[in-house]
Amino acid sequence: MKQVYKVKLSDKDRNELRRITAKGKENVRKIRRAHILLLSDGGKTDREIMERVGVTRATVVRIRKRYVTEGLTKALEERPRSGRPVEISNEARAKITALACTKGPDGRSRWTLRLLATTAVELKFVEDISHETVSEILKKTN
């Protein structure tokens, strides 16, 4: 099948890709993308690149297209993924952490995760929160 996007690397880009693949200190996906571009520039077919790098034809075509249309940096970096949106703001996280650092409420020697979750909702830090989420917030702030 004819390649629509022909990769012709500049000396600068080729040297950068060789540096990325030689050191092996980059993200594995970035190293794979670098290999795809180097092999494409070397005249390898899609099938040869697929077998050598261990990716699908769609990946080879996508990386080659990104290089030709957007340049080396865009071809090597991750595209943003939609993922699940953050539901608890940094401000709410800070308030929950600060609350956990205070003396326990009346009649209690310390805060429990469930009590922190209930109090955070009562104080309108958040609309709703589970004790597991409170635990994750506190773990991340250490």
pLDDT band (50, 70, 90) for residue 5: confident
Cα 75 to Cα 64: distance, rounded to the nearest angstrom: 8
Instruction: Give pTM, 2 decimals.
Output: 0.59
Residue pLDDT, tens place only, 72-119: 999 999 888 777 777 899 999 999 999 999 999 888 999 999 999 999
Which residues, at least 6 apart from 72, have a Cβ–Cβ distance to it below 8 Å? 13, 16, 17, 37
**What sign for the dihedral angle of Cα 29, 67, 53, 31?**
negative
Angle in degrees, CA 24, 41, 74, rounded to 5: 60
CB 132 within 8 A of CB 140: no
Cα 107 to Cα 139: distance, rounded to the nearest angstrom: 25
CB 113 within 8 A of CB 139: no
